[in-house]
Chains A and B, each alone.
Chain A
Amino acid sequence: MNTAVAAVIVTYNRKAKLPKVLDHVLGQSARPQWVVVVDNASTDGTAEVVADYAARDDRVVVVSLDENTGGAGGFATGMARGYELGADFVWIMDDDCYPDEHALEELVNGHAKAESTLGTQVPYACSLVKFIDGSICEMNNPGTTWDWGRLISKGQQTVMVTHCSFVSVLFPRWVLTKHGLPLREYFIWFDDQEYTLRITKDAPGVQVLTSVAVHDMGVNRGVNFGDVTAANIWKFEYGARNEASYRLHRENPVAFGKFVLRLFQGLRGGRVAWPLRVRLFKKVVEGVRFNPQPEFPRSVL
């Protein structure tokens, strides 16, 4: 493979699964030139695990952060580092994602074929994400375009998409130059949607069905505001604020209104306790004033 790929793994206190992730990434049929591991200030001994890998394989580049910056901050940092290293592509994933041996190769080839068939630049290519039991991963299904089957009709196992989650996604360098990095300020949730929607403005992305990654999450369940509990509300709070901000500032007041309605219906459907509902609506109000702007990576090499 002539293209230089920087794989980016963002990790936080998951040292049990991280070695398996690293083994899958380092063992790809198309070798990434760098494997950037962003340690979000883990406290469980992740640093030793990563240091051990870095000592054994000089492709491993460790970025240790002083504080937990969330998935959004971690991906922004890791993608910027890959860019600074001179990567032609960055390939990003969570610390519980096991890409198949040919996942990267299929992404790079599928992306190139899509560009040549469509005659336009394609801003990203994502994998088909499965749960550990082989079924589709509920949380990681991209949104499709109206003409999603266009490439399939040309014999390619590739679907055209409008947004996806940050589980095995390949971004060409120009996307980072032109559109910048994910919004760190989002911290967690909706950062992936915001980013992929942002970069889909000029042209859709693609999901390469022959590139498969396994997402080893605890329970195979999608995101639903009906599932809010006192224990998990901290995540939903980020989600509510981030999506409210996105719909209002990047789309329009109608999209914002529709989001609020969806939130309301979801909470009601899940019979979520009123105090929790109030907390989420406060976050929606916060989203009105919350409007972070993208950061751009530095050209170093």
Chain B
Amino acid sequence: MTEKPEIHTHSQTFDVLDESGVGLTGGESLLDERERALVVGAANFHALTRPGQTIRFTVLRGPQGSLPSLTDRETGAIEWEDDREVVGSVVFRSLVHTTVAAVDADGLVDLVVDVGGSEQTASAYHQLPGLAGALRRAVRFTVPVQFDALRQYRTDLVEKRYRARDVPRKAGVRIARGASATDQGRTPAVLFGIHWLELGGAERWAVETVQLAKDAGLTPVIITDRPSGHPWITRPEFDGAVVVPLTLPLTPDHESMLLNGIMANYDVRGVHVHHCTWLYERLPWLKAIRPDIPVVDSLHILEWRTGGFVDISVRVSNVVDRHHVISPQLRDYLIGKQGIPAEKVALATLANLTAAADQPAKAVAADKPFTVAFVGRFTQQKRPYLFLKLAAELKDSAPGPVRFVMHGDGELSGEVHGLRGRLGLSEALELRGPDRDVSDTLAEADVLVISSDNEGLTLTSFEASAAGIPVVSTDVGSQASLIADGLLCPRHPYPFIRTAAARIGTMMDSPEQRERWLVEQRRKSAAFAALPDARSWVRDLYRGWNS
């Protein structure tokens, strides 16, 4: 492993020979830290797929909202769109060797990489193309609750059909050893597959495991496969990690070259897949080449209508050694519904909670209005418009004065502001951004509402238990593990609003009932928190890999 001390961003796969504008060797830079990290990520990819070769990058920046192009076929073309500006040029040599004999490194490979533009927040609905898209968008934003009702019926229908069929399975690998073609590297490493490096529950956990790998003395080699500007790429957990942010489609032979490059440069002790389709789909090949490398994946949520990563995982289960799941629901799905042997499934939760059951209950202040809170990102999954509709309902029907706090931000922020006015909630409903502490909101709240369409496991429910407030939630995902039975509401919008309003009304009328629900919720939180802990599980796993 060679490391040039003057290189700002740690690299183990290439050596910078010259550069301009990028700022890798400490000179003037036109790129910000995130963009520079993307260039390093692209260089990692091309160094791994072109062992020993010398490569020149011409670095482009696209307009706002455009996505990076770092590893796809387009990078071989030396012309680009009119709106791309050239912001850097860098020449580097790959330090990777995939064969015993040295590679001819004389030829220069010229590539054009695009770091994309700055981020733009828009929901999937905003990106729907064509007339049909415009129509759907118009309906979605004009009558969000009615539209949601239709969506839920569609979910019911498609789920029923989808769940009736078996998930197809990839056959396993029978050989215990793949024919050896290359020497393997000496640096012990973990190969990670991550969706993208931006906000999300699965990503938060993935980033933690990257740190845990480093703590265990293993170098994280991270493949991501989703188009993204990767805002988290600059996080300190990635210092010392080798990030390979794929932009697809790759040139077909680059797929094996990338994985061969990684195995030649590192002593890969294990593979940990976090929601990464590209890596899931290459696991059979990886197992064929190196059956000795243990493969583990972490699963978070069973997605509506497709099963999502859980079903991809089920499909390739024959080449996965352990499935780590964060909820009893997923454990039961894998073992009970999909027939995966119980010994292959490890339940280890991300509860990370202490003392939830011991704190005194927070009493409702008699002189203040009853406060109903929503804490979460304003995204389609969280359905903030349902909370607003519930607020409007409660404003009219609640047995006493009531106020509302919505704490969050996200792609539906515009809709939330608009609906607040339309539903006449400007006075009664306070909006709070991420600049405020969630703990402040919880301290003021008398009840927390979770209106999500689907959830893995809401950590805010634990926080609410700790803060002494009951949670009213849709009965989705693993919410039944944390929420009192009586406070679980249907997923369909109108029944949800009806049930949630009735329960909150009951709480306002009867502090005793509110207390009973809270006790049950805390009992559930405490029992859940006693389940095996994911951090310890992964720590032990990685230690085993590095022993």
B247 contact set on A, CB distance < 8 A: none
- Which residues of A lie under 8 Å from residue B331 when comparing CB positions? 299
Q: B452-482: which have CB < 8 Å to A?
A: 475, 478, 480-481
Residue pair B339, A121 in contact (C-beta under 8 Å): yes
- Segment among B113-121, B270-278, B421-429, B524-532 that sits at the interface with chain A: B524-532
Q: Which residues from B are CB-within-8-Å of A298?
A: 475, 480
The answer, among B329, B337, B478, B528, for a CB contact under 8 Å with A178, is B337
Q: Which of B333, B336, B475, B531 has the most chain A CB atoms inside 10 A of its CB?
A: B336
Interface string of A168-207 (1 = CB under 8 A from B): 0000011111100000000000000000000000000000
Bound CA span A153–B328, Å:
39
Return the CB mask of A211-226 against B: 1 if under 8 Å, else 0: 0000000000000000
Report B-chain residues with C-beta under 8 Å of the C-beta of A173: 332, 335-336
Structural contact, A299 and B335, CB atoms closer than 8 A: no
CB of B328 within 8 A of CB of A177, answer no
A176 to B475, CA, bound (A): 19
Q: Considering only CB atoms, which chain B residue lies closest to A88 in the complex?
A: B342
Instruction: List the B residue with the shortest CB-CB distance to A86.
Output: B328
Interface string of B509-544 (1 = CB under 8 A from A): 000000000000000100110010000000000000
| Smallest beta-carbon distance A90→chain B, Å | 13
Closest CB-CB distance, A68 to chain B, in whole Å? 20
Q: What chain A residues lie within 8 Å of B328 (beta carbons)?
A: 86, 299-301
Q: Is B327 close to A, CB under 8 A?
A: yes
Interface size for A (C-beta < 8 A) is 13
Residues of A14-69 whose CB lies within 8 A of B: none
Do B327 and A177 have beta carbons less than 8 Å apart?
no
Whether A299 contacts B329 in the complex (CB less than 8 A), given A121-B339, A174-B335, A176-B336, comes out as yes
Query: Which chain A positions have C-beta within 8 A of B480?
Result: 84, 298-300
Distance in angstroms between the alpha carbons of A177 and B331 in the assembled complex: 10
Residues of chain A lying within 8 A (CB to CB) of residue B531 = 301
The B interface, classified by DSSP as helix, strand, loop or mixed, is helix
Expressed in whole angstroms, the Cα–Cα distance for A174 and B332 within the complex equals: 7
Binary contact track A76-109/B, C-beta < 8 Å → 1, others 0: 0000000010100000000000000000000000
Contacts A299-B478, A301-B328, A301-B481 given; indicate if A177 touches B528 (C-beta within 8 A). no
Cβ–Cβ < 8 Å partners of B481 in chain A: 299-301
Min distance, Cβ A121 to any Cβ of chain B, angstroms: 7
Q: What is the CB-to-nearest-CB distance from B477 to chain A, in angstroms, rounded to a whole number? A: 10
- Size category of the binding interface on chain B: 10 to 19
Residue pair A177, B339 in contact (C-beta under 8 Å) = no
B336 touching A174 by the CB < 8 A rule? yes
Interface residues of B in 331-385 (CB under 8 A from A): 331-333, 335-337, 339
Q: Given the complex, which residues of A lie within 8 Å of B528, measured CB to CB?
A: 301
Bound Cα distance from A300 to B478, whole angstroms: 7
Contacts of B524 in A (CB 8 A): 300
CA A174 to CA B481, docked complex, whole Å: 18
Taking CB as reference atom, which chain B residue is nearest A297? B332
With a CB–CB cut-off of 8 A, which chain A residues contact B337? Answer: 177-178
Q: Is the CB of A178 within 8 A of B527?
A: no
Taking A298-B480, A299-B327 as contacts, is the C-beta distance between A177 and B527 under 8 angstroms? no
Chain A residues whose C-beta falls within 8 Å of the C-beta of B478 in the assembled complex: 299
Closest-by-CB residue of B relative to A84 is: B480
Distance, CA A176 to CA B336, complexed state (A): 8
Q: How far is B342's CA from A173's CA once the two chains are assembled, in angstroms?
A: 11
Cβ contact within 8 Å between A301 and B335: no
Q: Measured between alpha carbons, how far is A301 from B478 in the docked complex, in Å?
A: 10
Closest chain-B Cβ to A84's Cβ sits at a distance in Å of 8
Residue with the highest number of chain B CB atoms closer than 10 Å, among A121, A174, A175, A300: A300
Rounded to whole Å, the gap between the CB of A35 and the closest CB of chain B is 18
User: Known contacts A121-B339, A177-B337, A178-B337: does B527 contact A299 (CB below 8 Å)?
Assistant: no
Instruction: Give Cα A178 to B338, complex, Å.
Output: 8
A102 to B329, CA, bound (A): 32
Which residues of the other chain, A, contact B332 by a CB distance below 8 angstroms?
A: 173-174, 177, 299
Q: Which residue of A lies closest to B524 (CB)?
A: A300
CB of A34 to closest CB in B, whole Å: 13
Question: Contacts of B335 on A, CB cut-off 8 Å?
Answer: 173-174, 177
Bound CA span A232–B481, Å: 43
When C-beta atoms are compared, the residue in chain B nearest to A179 turns out to be B336
Q: Which residues of A contact B333 (CB under 8 A)?
A: 177
B residues 298-340 touching A (CB-CB < 8 Å): 327-329, 331-333, 335-337, 339
> Smallest Cβ distance from A284 to chain B, in angstroms?
29
Give chain A nearest CB distance to B523 CB in angstroms.
11
Q: For chain A residues 253-301, which have a beta carbon within 8 Å of chain B?
A: 298-301
Taken together as a complex, chains A and B put the C-alpha atoms of A121 and B337 apart, in Å, by 12
Q: How distant is the Cα of A182 from the Cα of B350 in the complex, in angstroms? A: 33
Interface centre among B328, B339, B478 (most CB of A within 10 A): B328
Neighbouring B residues of A299 by C-beta, 8 Å = 327-329, 331-332, 478, 480-481
CA distance A86 to B475 in the complex (A): 18
Besides A174-B336, A299-B478, 9 other A-B contacts (C-beta < 8 A)? A121-B339, A173-B336, A174-B339, A177-B335, A178-B337, A299-B327, A299-B480, A300-B480, A300-B481
Q: List 15 A-B contacts (CB under 8 A).
A: A173-B332, A174-B332, A174-B336, A174-B339, A175-B336, A178-B336, A298-B475, A299-B327, A299-B329, A299-B331, A299-B478, A299-B481, A300-B328, A300-B481, A301-B528
- B contact residues vs A (CB 8 Å cutoff): 327-329, 331-333, 335-337, 339, 475, 478, 480-481, 524, 527-528, 531
Interface residues of A (CB under 8 A from B): 84, 86, 121, 173-178, 298-301
Give the 5 A-B CB pairs with smallest separation, nearest first: A177-B336, A174-B336, A298-B480, A299-B329, A299-B328
